[in-house]
Amino acid sequence: MRHFISTRELSAASIFNILNTAEEMRENPDLFSGNYFAANLFFEPSTRTKMSFLMAEKKLGMEVLDFQMESSSMAKGESLYDTARTYEAIGADLLIVRHKHDRWFDELAQKLSVPMINAGSGKRDHPTQSMLDLLTIYQEFGSFNNLNIVIAGDIKHSRVARSNAYALRTMGANVYFSAAPGFEDDSLGIPYMSIDEACEMCDVLMLLRVQHERHATTSHDTSSYLVNYGLTPEREQRMQDHAIILHPAPVNRGVEIDTGLVECERSRIFKQMENGVYTRMAIISILLNEWGFDHEHITEKCQTLKV
């Protein structure tokens, strides 16, 4: 793979390679290092993705070129394409891009001669989030085969739901959705269940943020959303003993999840964030290696890695 754009293109072997490399990166961050330059081009707000990419790049010994959309020449009308080409011309070896358009990468992927990683594209893809979610599940269960995983919440506006649905099905999990009326998306052919059914049968409950900023109108009263469609303490009590809770965050506390459950025993929400650093280190190192960039410290093992 030349770019890391979507989970739709990933095989099970590629995903396992990323997860295993992430675990190796946690143990030995020096597995890959080199004097590379990364540009983190975020055109939408971010805390976790942007900062964990920054941490991953620093741990890999990379230099990071600054980008602030408001003070860049995009404020003078420069396009994404010209901005990306500029960073390439200046010497960036890798572009990390988050953008509101579902397919921002189409034109760039054909024309750029440096690798790109999708850090979130509209409502379509968030593949690095998906890989850190899968790592968190893999650490817990050691396998994906026949795990019952329910993705619950604002499916319609969620790139996390789409990326995870593709990746989890590839890995052999049983994937279900749960959504309030108006938040469904039937295009993936995934069965739906109520949040009550979901809590009782799932091994993994992956909650999604209600994405108010992507709604044309506010369609749900947030005060009743938790009781009708979210994870309340009563529902959490009915989950199986071994079941875990995931959420990509940021969390709307008291909307999709009761605030007291965000850090409860079965929550892995902050573990997901920690895993994001190692997962992104793995994806960066695999991709740079795939492009054949020379570096001094790469091990024999890393040279065999492929996405």
Residues that bind ligand CP (CB under 6 A): 46-50, 120, 129, 248-250
CB of 7 to ligand CP, least distance (A): 14
In degrees, rounded to 5, the angle at the alpha carbon of residue 157 between the alpha carbons of residues 154 and 160 is 80
CB of 273 to ligand CP, least distance (A): 8
Alpha helices, H only, the chain: 12-27, 48-59, 80-90, 105-111, 127-141, 159-170, 195-201, 222-229, 233-237, 269-290, 300-303
CB of 247 to ligand CP, least distance (A): 9
Distance of CA 182 to the CA centre of its chain: 24
Whole-angstrom Cα distance, residue 122 to residue 182?
Answer: 18
CB of 120 to ligand CP, least distance (A): 6
> Which tokens is 305 given?
């890695």
Query: What's the half-sphere exposure (Cβ side, CA atoms, 13 Å) at 57?
Result: 23
Nearer to ligand CP, 48 or 103 (CB): 48
For 160, phi then psi, to 5°, come to -65, -45
CB of 71 to ligand CP, least distance (A): 20
Contact residues for 73 (Cβ-Cβ < 8 A; gap 6+): 83
CB of 213 to ligand CP, least distance (A): 11
Closest to 252 (Cα-Cα) out of 219, 223, 215:
223
Nearer to ligand CP, 99 or 302 (CB): 99
CB of 293 to ligand CP, least distance (A): 26
Whole-angstrom Cα distance, residue 292 to residue 257?
Answer: 44
CB of 89 to ligand CP, least distance (A): 27
Question: Taking the alpha carbons of 8, 14, 19, 22 in that order, is the dihedral positive or negative?
Answer: negative
Nearer to ligand CP, 47 or 73 (CB): 47
Distance of CA 287 to the CA centre of its chain: 16
Nearer to ligand CP, 160 or 288 (CB): 160
Nearer to ligand CP, 98 or 156 (CB): 98
Closest to 211 (Cα-Cα) out of 263, 247, 186, 175:
247
For 163, phi then psi, to 5°, come to -60, -40
Strand pairing category for 116-121 and 63-65: unpaired
Whole-angstrom Cα distance, residue 281 to residue 274?
Answer: 12
Nearer to ligand CP, 129 or 174 (CB): 129
Nearer to ligand CP, 56 or 193 (CB): 56
> Which tokens is 249 given?
């965050």
Nearer to ligand CP, 158 or 178 (CB): 158
